[in-house]
Structure 1
Amino acid sequence: MKQPDYLDQYRPNVGICLFNRKGQVWLGHRNDTDSQYAWQMPQGGMDEGEHPREAAFRELYEETGVKSVRLLACTPGWLVYSFPEDYRSRKKRNWMGQRQKWFAMLFEGKNSEINLDAHEEKEFSDWRWGELQETPGLIIPFKAGVYAEVAESFQPLSDWLKATN
Structure 2
Amino acid sequence: VAAVIIHPTENKVLMFRRLAEKDKNSGFLTDGGQLKWNWQFPQGGVNDGESEEEALFRELKEEIGTGDVKIIRVGEKRIRYHYPLKVKRVLDQQPQWRPFRGQQQRWFLLHLNCQTDKISFNHHPIEFDAFQWISPRKGLSRVVPFKRKAYRKGLRMLGVL
4+ residue segments displaced more than 3 Å: none
Aligned to 1:27: 15
Please give the residue correspondences for 1:9-158 in structure 2 after superposition, counting only pairs within 5 Å: 14-22=1-9, 23-32=11-20, 35-92=35-92, 93-117=98-122, 119-156=123-160
Q: Is the contact made by 1:69 and 1:105 (CA closer than 8 Å) also made in structure 2? A: yes
Percent identical among aligned pairs is 27
| Residue identity matched to 1:15 | A
What is the rounded CA distance, in whole Å, between the counterparts of 1:76 and 1:112 in structure 2?
A: 31
In 1, the alpha carbon distance for the partners of 2:157 and 2:139 equals 13
> In structure 2, the residue corresponding to 1:148 is in which secondary structure?
helix
- Tell me how far apart the structure 2 counterparts of residues 94 and 115 of structure 1 sit (CA, whole Å): 29
Distance 2:140 2:84 in 1: 17
CA distance in 2 between counterparts of 1:150 and 1:133 reads: 12
Answer yes or no: is the 8 Å Cα contact 1:135–1:147 preserved in 2.
Answer: no
TM-score by length of 2: 0.81
Length, aligned pairs only = 143
Return the offset for 1:37.
0.4
Task: Answer 1 or 2: which has greater helix percent.
Answer: 1
Whole-angstrom distance in 1 between the partners of 2:50 and 2:136 = 28
CA RMSD of aligned residues (A): 1.7
Distance 2:137 2:154 in 1: 9
Q: Give the secondary-structure state (helix, strand or coil) at the position aligned to 1:36.
A: helix
Normalised TM-score (structure 1): 0.79
Contact 2:14 2:132 in 1 (8 A): yes
For structure 1, the 5+ residue unaligned runs are 1-13, 159-165
Give, in whole Å, the separation in 1 of the partners of 2:81 and 2:67. 28
- Following the alignment from structure 2 to structure 1, what is the Cα–Cα distance between the partners of residues 5 and 36? 22
Q: CA deviation at 1:29?
A: 0.7
Is this contact kept in 2: 1:20–1:108, CA < 8 A?
A: no
Amino acid in structure 2 at the alignment position of 1:146:
A
